[in-house]
């Protein structure tokens, strides 16, 4: 079984290889957009892991190889992809992330055009294509190939959405944030600052290798001490 409860996950470059990411891009783009009457567009977001560049490049190549267009959101929290797929009226979304897992892991998770995780039947259809070497997936040529473009305002638009969900101002509230050197390292502080909070931040300097390294949801000691200090 390829798909778990949260997409396809494994150790990057041994279990979740560039070749697998390419094939997932091909199969996923085909399954999620084959009913489209237009050239489909798929949003791609990543977290801060060092393997994101490799996997994003391979995944985007797979998406373009079936004639779909990739829209690159860059480093954004996974819920941003779910939201922006709907806002931009795109046909699907993909997140490259392994959440709270150590840096050597990564994952690929698809969203449908409504920003929701895929039904089991669609994941089964993608797996079936991979098992059959994608023999029925088209390989267009020339002007029918897909392209990629950057969604330069993706993070700002997600932050604007977050702050629009409350009428409450956080003036006078002092908030400590552990960003886990992960995908929310920009969005979380900016959203709270925009709402008026006084923000104190730790672990917000990702270098590709320090995501969840003695920080984040599985290592709470630093945050507990920080709050008390």
d(CA 229, CA 200): 11
Token pair 């070497």 is found at 133
Which residue among 97, 99, 139, 184 is the active-site one? 99
Separation of first and last alpha carbons in the chain: 47
Q: How far apart are CA 204 and CA 184, in angstroms?
A: 9
What distance lies between CA 15 and its chain's CA centroid?
Answer: 19
What's the maximum distance between 2 C-alpha atoms anywhere in the chain?
61
- HSE on the CB side for 83, CA within 13 Å? 16
Contact 43, 85 (CB under 8 A): yes
As separate numbers, helices (DSSP H) first and strands (DSSP E) second, the chain gives: 7, 8
Reply yes or no on whether 99 is catalytic. yes
Tell me the pairing of strands 174-178 and 198-202: parallel
Partners of 200 in the beta sheet?
Answer: 176
Catalytic residues: 99
């Amino acid at each position: 079984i390829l798909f778990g409860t949260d997409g396809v996950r494994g150790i990057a470059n041994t279990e979740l290889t560039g070749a697998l990411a390419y094939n997932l891009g091909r199969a996923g783009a085909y399954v999620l957009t084959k009913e489209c009457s237009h050239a489909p567009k798929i949003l791609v977001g990543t977290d801060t892991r060092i393997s994101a560049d490799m996997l994003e490049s391979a995944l985007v190549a797979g998406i373009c190889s079936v004639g779909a267009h990739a829209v690159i959101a860059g480093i954004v929290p996974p819920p941003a992809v779910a939201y922006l797929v709907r806002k931009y009226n795109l046909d699907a979304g993909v997140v490259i992330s392994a959440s709270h897992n150590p840096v050597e892991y990564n994952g690929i998770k698809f969203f449908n055009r409504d920003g929701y995780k895929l039904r089991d039947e669609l994941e089964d259809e993608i797996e079936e294509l991979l098992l059959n070497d994608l023999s029925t997936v088209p390989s267009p040529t020339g002007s029918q190939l897909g392209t990629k473009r950057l969604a330069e305002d993706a993070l700002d638009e997600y932050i604007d959405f977050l702050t629009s969900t409350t009428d409450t101002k956080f003036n006078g509230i002092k908030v400590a944030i552990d960003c886990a050197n992960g995908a929310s390292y920009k969005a979380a502080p900016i959203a709270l600052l925009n709402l008026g909070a006084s923000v104190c931040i730790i672990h917000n300097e990702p270098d590709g290798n320090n995501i969840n390294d003695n920080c984040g949801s599985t290592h709470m000691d630093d945050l507990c001490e920080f709050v008390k200090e």
